Amino acid sequence: MLLITDEVTTESINYLLPELQDVGMEERTVRLRNGAQMPRIGLGTWKSPAEVTKQAVQAAVRAGYRLIDCANDYDNEHVIGEALKELLDQGEVKREELFIQAKLWNSNHRPEHVRPDLEATLKDLQLDYVDSFVIHWPMAVPSSGQKVALRPDGCYPAHFSQGTLFPLDDEGYYASDDASHFIETWYAMEDLVDEGLTKSIGLSNFNMKQVREVLEKAKKHLPSVVQNESHPYLQERDFRAFCRINGIVFQAYSALGSADRPWRHTGSITSGAPSTGHEVLDHPILRDIAQRLGRSVAHVVLRWHLQIGGAAVCKSVTPSRIQENIKLWDFALAPEDMDQISNLNVGWRHLLWAETSMHNDYPFKDWLPSDYKLEKPSAGSTAGAK
């Protein structure tokens, strides 16, 4: 029986899929370098309003999700904690069955702020440990110079003196902490593993060169996960291969293309439809495949993620859609379907966050036009802006 894991290449999957007799028997988890099994499909909580996130998390766990992807700047970890506590107290799931992933925010890259950042997340989540803790972005920003910036301080842009998670300078541009570098942050992250506050550590929104630097300079623990944007328009084949060779699981966010990105109509560099003229879930090829298989387009895209290896998180707050999205184990995309989706790789990245591109460690400089002029942040230009 063929088991599709993160070690299987796209080519081998395309060749062997016709031999699959029971797709539902394939691996639903992937083994991390610490031996832990991480679910390959998880619930994302970015852009999930706090008032509906609790029911979304509970609906997801009851539907079979075991990976919940969190971040303190999403401003909803406190209600995720309420949801998890109720599920655990009622015996609907055991803690060891869950895989909870959280993120270190940019304002807390200084080594002395790393542990307090995770401790605040653990308090919000009402947990003793997380299974994965990743550096959310490579760029460090000020934390009012004196203290850790936490969720209650504000998940919105404000002057750096206010200690917000999104600090602005005196002129209203994003502020940066250029004296802090992510390698020093990584060393503090390694200590969290030794202390048992997280089982593994990883990276998010790092480019390949930056991931390589962490691999080369890590002292005790290597990254287990890289969580970056990926979907049929941004397939990241080289990056995925690099991660596979180096024992890292590539986990896709915005796995369905993120058509609900808040800056879609703001007129900024990151606005507007992709170069294909269609949002991912509206592309005619994907719609045709879905219609032929009797599936939703989301099913097709998530199934594609599984068959190329790695893992993905997908976001929804609608219980019926959450329940539907995880029904991925009783069908497969044929080689010709995979080939068609492969041809959709146009290199479209929606989360550029160009307003932070002045930072020395900004990861996507090659994606910006040569004449790009630094912009001030506007509503919807950040993950947590109001």
Q: Give residue for tokens 């993905």.
A: 312
249 contacts 32 by C-beta, under 8 angstroms = yes
15 contacts 9 by C-beta, under 8 angstroms = no
> Could you give phi then psi for residue 214, rounded to 5 degrees?
-65, -45
The catalytic residue among 65, 74, 233, 253 is 74
Beta-carbon contacts of 256 under 8 Å, excluding residues fewer than 6 positions away, are: 231, 280, 281, 298, 301, 302, 314
Angle of CA points 142, 251, 236, to nearest 5°: 95
Amino acid occupying residue 182: F
**How far apart, in whole angstroms, are the C-alpha atoms of residue 120 and residue 225?**
22
Q: Give residue for tokens 């180096």.
A: 246
The two tokens of residue 229 are 């944007």
Q: Give residue for tokens 């044929």.
A: 334
257 contacts 279 by C-beta, under 8 angstroms = yes
> Strand (E) positions, the chain?
29-31, 37-39, 41-44, 67-69, 99-104, 132-135, 157-159, 166-168, 201-204, 225-229, 249-253, 311-315
The two tokens of residue 325 are 């999205």
R_g of the chain computed on alpha carbons: 20
Helices 77-89 and 50-63 pack at an angle, to 10 degrees, of 40
| Active site annotation includes 372 | no
Please identify every residue annotated as catalytic.
74
